Structure 1
Amino acid sequence: MKHLTRITLDPNVMGGKPCIRGLRVTVGTVIGLLASGYTAEEILKMYPYMEFEDLSEALSYAAWRSEEIEVPLARA
């Protein structure tokens, strides 16, 4: 997977959720809007400080996270 430069994780911003460039817009918000049928153009009008590349990286990040496997830890 390519290095994502537009997705940030900061415990002081939105509770540490993955955000777009440190802005208070989470990847989850962007993906939710796309899943609800909003177009990239509509989202960029709602959030004029975002760029198309932000949406693309949000999709890449969400796809990468959906492929992760969580393995339960063995109990001692």
Structure 2
Amino acid sequence: METLLSRITTDPAQCGGRPCIRGMRVRVRDVLDLLEAGLSFDEVLEELPYLERDDIRAAIAYAARRLDHPVIHAAE
């Protein structure tokens, strides 16, 4: 998993510090938006031919990790 996540980079001088794929100006969000729009992995790779299949998997893994946090509700 860490190998996949190492494909995600952040640089304050690039894309406003948003997480990108391997230092390119392709944001994790861009990849997720294409998937959400219904594109398959193969279609994403056609749209962004400089990406690799593992880049897509890394974007999904990154998003899943960022969303995996406990939600604590106040007692009523």
TM-score by length of 2: 0.84
- Residue number in structure 2 paired with 1:54: 55
Structure 1 position 69, deviation (Å): 5.2
Residue segments in structure 2 that go unaligned for 5+ positions in a row: 72-76
- Separation of aligned partners in 1, 2:13 and 2:50: 20
Number of corresponding residues: 70
Equivalent residue runs for 1:30-69 within 5 Å: 30-68=31-69
- Residue number in structure 2 paired with 1:19: 20
- Residue number in structure 1 paired with 2:74: none
Residue segments in structure 1 that go unaligned for 5+ positions in a row: 71-76
Which structure: greater helix fraction?
2
Q: Which structure carries more relative contact order (alpha carbon 8 Å, separation 6+)?
A: 2
Structure 1 position 59, deviation (Å): 0.2
TM-score by length of 1: 0.84
Aligned-residue Cα RMSD (Å) equals 1.6
Tell me which amino acid in the other structure corresponds to 1:68. Answer: H
- Separation of aligned partners in 2, 1:21 and 1:31: 15
Say whether residues 1:28 and 2:43 are aligned partners.
no
